Amino acid sequence: MIVCIAAMQQECDAFLELCEQVSVFSETPFKLYQAKHLNQDVIVGLSGIGKVSAAAMTSYVILTFKPSLIINIGSAGGLDSSLKIGDIVVASMCAYHDFDITSFGHEMSYEKGWYVFKANPTILDHIKNIGLSQLHVGPMVCGDQFIHEEALFKTMQSRFKHVLATDMESTAVAHVASTYNIPWIIARSISDLVFDHDNHVSFDEFLGHASKQSATFVSQLIQRLS
């Protein structure tokens, strides 16, 4: 069984629109949906925003449903100038940009940082073979901040080389899934470009579009993995 986790209702609904036989679980601590997607059973969970919410949801669905794959869907902020609104970003690896123990001599980076998680290479190969021009596979970061200040943006770029995008849940999903040895994929669409000074306005404007782009891509991925 595949579990998809989204932080926001709009992100969740975009994928559910592509499913059939959608029903809501009752008496659960989270908002969870059961559905059929291409004749395959899927669980779709609405975690809420932030790392703790995402980690709690991921732990719950793993212990309850024992999924074969967890996919984190929704929107992300673009950190690379090659990205455009609506592009798909899939994490090859991810880390926390706000886990900072540099005062003890530890480095914040993909190479030497703590809590760096790498996606399943076999699934990444399937993703790369989908062949979308708007698809980017590369490193991502996550933290409990909506990044809109240039100083933060520059700091993240200097610490995490070649980082493509940032969000507020993905690494927490990958962290918990990795702890339980469950394969995971982060598949998000760009809703805003962090280097744009009005990216908070862009996020509100393009969240719906990004949600649909992510959902459509994940639908293609599930079909390829079936």
The rounded distance, in Å, linking the Cα atoms of 40 and 207 is 27
Structure tokens at 10: 């709009």
Query: 111, 192, 204, 205: which is the annotated catalytic residue?
Result: 192
Residue for token pair 């395959």: 40
Query: 11, 13, 80, 169: which is the annotated catalytic residue?
Result: 11
Is 192 one of the annotated active-site residues of the chain? yes
Is 111 one of the annotated active-site residues of the chain? no
CB 100 within 8 A of CB 182: no
Residues with active-site annotation: 11, 192
